[in-house]
């Protein structure tokens, strides 16, 4: 049991689970636009997420030369391996997809490394974190695989981008509710500014918006509408039961499993 717990901790804190969530959303995009499996875009999304998230979480420990634990050194090895995988897959992407990849890599650097005066990065800018993360997730999981497949940016593509952006905002707000007591008050996260109860109301409104956007597609898929009902209800329940007293794994595992759950539902329903 101890070994399993340790492996589970590495799986979560090494950003492997969140990478599977990003991969699931990437595969959802390919499925929604009836495209074949793209191993290059999938590898870039997965490896880039592992490398990017671990870089954001652990680079300051190395930059400030703080004592490094064995576990963090292991995360560093995972990050390097993932970074190599992301780099190789990046070179195999189409030029438009590469340009998007470079854009999001630049955002990650700005978000993490203190380029600005007073040694501040964009992560410390009040209220910007949620939008930065949502933009990166939506771009990597929606625009990049479509551009790599040579799909033109149509109204349906932009609609899916907005829908994906809204979904990621929704998931992040659940995280912010759980972390509201521990977050630095200077960050002024949504729950810190409007309270947990109002944040939950915002999430429910965004979920309704997310669902309604499906009706603006060129071709409305009845199966997708049915699946999205389940997704919206499940996410709403996670929102309603979120409290600052919940353990971290409520979000780190369960909430981040929602995109994987969504993909599983879509693949299951598509066989009927």
Question: Which whole-number Å values give the CA distances from 142 to 31, 54, 266, in the listed order?
Answer: 11, 22, 16
Instruction: State the first-to-last Cα distance of the chain, in angstroms, to the nearest integer.
Output: 39
Tell me what percent of the residues of the chain surpass a pLDDT of 90.
Answer: 69
Alpha carbons 16 and 53: distance in angstroms, whole number: 9
Residues 6+ apart with CB under 8 A from 227: 262, 265, 266, 269
Is residue 120's pLDDT more than 60?
no
Is residue 172's pLDDT more than 80?
yes
Tell me what percent of the residues of the chain surpass a pLDDT of 70.
Answer: 92
Instruction: Give mean pLDDT, residues 133-148.
Output: 94
Contact 133, 172 (CB under 8 A): yes
Phi, psi of 260 (to 5 degrees): -70, -45
Question: SS3 of 55, please?
Answer: helix
Nearest to 163 by CA among 102, 224, 121, 103: 224
How many CA atoms lie within 13 Å of 107's alpha carbon, on the beta-carbon side?
20
Question: SS3 of 95, please?
Answer: helix
What's the pLDDT band for 58 if we cut at 50, 70, 90?
A: confident
pLDDT tens digits along 78-93: 999 999 999 999 999 9
Query: pLDDT at position 57, please?
Result: 85
Where in the chain are the domains?
Answer: 1-150, 154-272
Contact 183, 192 (CB under 8 A): yes
Q: What is the mean pLDDT of the chain?
A: 89
Question: Which whole-number Å values give the CA distances from 66 to 72, 113, 114, 205, 218, in the listed order?
Answer: 11, 16, 17, 43, 54
What's the pLDDT band for 133 if we cut at 50, 70, 90?
A: confident
What's the pLDDT band for 66 if we cut at 50, 70, 90?
A: low
Query: pLDDT at position 124, please?
Result: 56
Query: pLDDT at position 65, please?
Result: 65
Burial level of 247, CB count in 10 A (0-12/13-18/19+)? exposed
Q: Is the pTM of this model over 0.85?
A: yes
Query: pLDDT at position 272, please?
Result: 76
Contact 223, 217 (CB under 8 A): no
The first and second tokens of residue 146, run together, are 């479509």
Is residue 156's pLDDT more than 90?
yes
Residues 6+ apart with CB under 8 A from 255: 171, 174, 175, 238
Instruction: Give mean pLDDT, residues 132-152.
Output: 93
The first and second tokens of residue 186, run together, are 């200077």
CA 109-38-231 angle, 5° bins = 80
The first and second tokens of residue 66, run together, are 């703080």
Is residue 115's pLDDT more than 70?
no
Alpha carbons 84 and 261: distance in angstroms, whole number: 28
The domain 1-150 is placed in CATH, from the list 1.20.1250, 1.10.10, 1.10.357, 1.20.1630, at: 1.10.357
Contact 79, 54 (CB under 8 A): yes
The first and second tokens of residue 118, run together, are 């007073």
Query: pLDDT at position 1, please?
Result: 78
């Amino acid at each position: 049991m101890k070994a399993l717990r340790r492996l589970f901790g590495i799986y979560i804190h090494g950003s492997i689970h969140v990478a599977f969530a990003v991969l699931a959303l990437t595969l959802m995009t390919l499925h929604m636009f009836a495209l074949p499996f793209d191993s290059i875009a999938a590898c870039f999304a997965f490896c880039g997420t592992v490398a990017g998230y671990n870089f954001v979480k652990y680079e300051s420990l190395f930059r400030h030369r703080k004592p490094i634990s064995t576990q963090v050194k292991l995360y560093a090895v995972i990050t390097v391996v993932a970074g190599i995988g992301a780099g190789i897959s990046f070179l195999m992407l189409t030029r438009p997809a590469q340009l998007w990849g470079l854009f999001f890599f630049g955002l990650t650097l700005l978000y993490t490394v203190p380029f600005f005066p007073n040694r501040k990065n964009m992560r410390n800018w009040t209220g910007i974190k949620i939008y930065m993360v949502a933009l990166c997730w939506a771009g990597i999981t929606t625009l990049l695989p479509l551009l790599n497949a040579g799909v033109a940016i149509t109204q349906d593509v932009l609609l899916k981008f907005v829908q994906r952006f809204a979904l990621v905002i929704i998931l992040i707000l659940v995280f912010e509710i759980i972390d509201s007591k521990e977050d630095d008050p200077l960050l002024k996260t949504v729950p810190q500014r409007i309270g947990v109860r109002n944040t939950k109301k915002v999430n429910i409104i965004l979920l309704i918006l997310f669902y309604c956007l499906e009706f603006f597609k060129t071709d409305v898929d009845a199966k997708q509408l049915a699946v999205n009902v389940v997704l919206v209800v499940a996410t709403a329940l996670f929102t309603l039961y979120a409290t600052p007293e919940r353990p971290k794994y409520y979000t780190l595992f369960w909430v981040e499993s929602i995109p994987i759950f969504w993909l599983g539902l879509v693949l299951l329903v598509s066989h009927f």
